[in-house]
Structure 1
Amino acid sequence: MSFDIRPAVPQDAAAACAVLRRSIEECCGLDHHGDPAILAAWLGNKTPKMVTTWFESPTNYPLVAVRGETIVGVALLTAAGKLALCYLEPEALRQGAGKAMLARIEQQALALGMKTVFLHSTVTAEGFFAGRGYRRDGLLRAPYGIDTVLFWKPLVADASAPDSQRKRFCNCSSA
């Protein structure tokens, strides 16, 4: 399948939001186990208005994957080097759109001078990120009630885990 990967614009927000919601509901069953409370919490901020805000933020780099005229994927990199979104509609899984979006995100991160990218993966997507060179660095409970896997990837030879990640897992006192 052929996909176009392009920067997302605010006019894409409703379609991108629909992709987010479908992906979470239909593809992430290993994570939410059909629990209505978890789904409600996870989907709570996945509204067209909120996605528009994310796309409009000058500190974010949002992308969409488009097949024909249809948005089938959405990804978003923050200025902190976090891959905050990387979701596909169920029909677009395992067809190359996720790989293509991730490659563009990594290119943008390098262009912005970032040495690493990090993310909190669902259990469902753990194999995808591990297969693309991301390094597992522990587990973290998401505010909406699922366990996520902290991953990071060095984009340059001398990169190490970002300070924010090392501190999160050291259990040291800041006093």
Structure 2
Amino acid sequence: MSFEIRPATPPDAVAACQVLRRSIAECCVLDHRDDPDILAAWLGNKHPGTVASWFESPTNYSLVAVQDGGIVGVSLLTGAGKLALCYLLPEAQRQGAGSALLRRMEERALALGMKALYLHSTATAEGFFAAAGYRRDGNVRSPYGVETILFWKPLVQGAQPDARKRFCNCNSA
């Protein structure tokens, strides 16, 4: 499949928000277990205005994956080196868009001088990140009640995990 990977802009927020909401609701059932309270908390900040503000923030770098003119994926890297978002529409999964977004984010992180990337993965996405070379470093409970897996990946030889990132409270996304 062919995807265009490009920087996200505020006008992309409505479509990107739909990607986030559908991916969480439909693909992350293993994580939220259809618990309406957990799902409501997780989706609580996934609204177009909030997503647009994430895209506008000078400390974030956001990308979208576009296929046939529609946004099918979204990712966001914070200035602190955290991959805060990497989500796809359910029908776009396992076609290469997620890997393309991840690869571009890693390239951007290197260009910004980051030595490693960090992320809090769902159980649903654990295999995806492990296959991409991310190393598991324990579990962390999210603010919305889901047990996440802390992953990190060295981007340069000799990079070591930063213990301060373990309990990152940067939950802007």
Aligned to 1:15: 15
SS in 1 for 2:40: helix
Aligned to 1:109: 109
What is the alpha-carbon distance in structure 1 between the residues aligned to residue 73 and residue 139 of structure 2?
Answer: 25
Unaligned runs of 5+ in 1: 169-175
What is the alpha-carbon distance in structure 2 between the residues aligned to residue 147 and residue 163 of structure 1?
Answer: 19
How far off is 1:68 after superposition? 1.4
Cα RMSD, aligned residues only:
0.8
Aligned to 2:42: 42
What is the alpha-carbon distance in structure 1 between the residues aligned to residue 162 and residue 9 of structure 2?
Answer: 29
Q: Is 1:125 paired with 2:132?
A: no
What residue identity is the alignment partner of 2:67? R
Aligned to 1:99: 99
Aligned to 2:171: none
Aligned to 2:144: 144
What is the alpha-carbon distance in structure 2 between the residues aligned to residue 40 and residue 84 of structure 1?
Answer: 19
How far off is 1:163 after superposition? 3.5
Q: Is 1:164 paired with 2:164?
A: yes
How far off is 1:158 after superposition? 1.5
> Larger C-alpha radius of gyration, 1 or 2?
1
What residue identity is the alignment partner of 1:91? E
Which of structure 1's runs of 4+ aligned residues deviate more than 3 A?
none
Map Cα deviations across residues 114-146 of structure 1 (whole Å, 9 max, x no partner). 000000000000000000000000000001011
Unaligned runs of 5+ in 2: 168-173
What is the alpha-carbon distance in structure 2 between the residues aligned to residue 4 and residue 24 of structure 1?
Answer: 23
TM-score, normalised by the number of residues in structure 2:
0.95
How far off is 1:162 after superposition? 1.8
How far off is 1:164 after superposition? 1.2
1:25-104, aligned counterparts within 5 Å?
Answer: 25-104=25-104
TM-score, normalised by the number of residues in structure 1:
0.94
What is the alpha-carbon distance in structure 1 between the residues aligned to residue 33 and residue 100 of structure 2?
Answer: 29
What residue identity is the alignment partner of 2:15? A
What residue identity is the alignment partner of 1:136? R
What is the alpha-carbon distance in structure 2 between the residues aligned to residue 143 and residue 156 of structure 1?
Answer: 31
Map Cα deviations across residues 62-106 of structure 1 (whole Å, 9 max, x no partner). 000000110000000000000000000000000000000000000
Percent identity, please.
69
How far off is 1:27 after superposition? 0.2
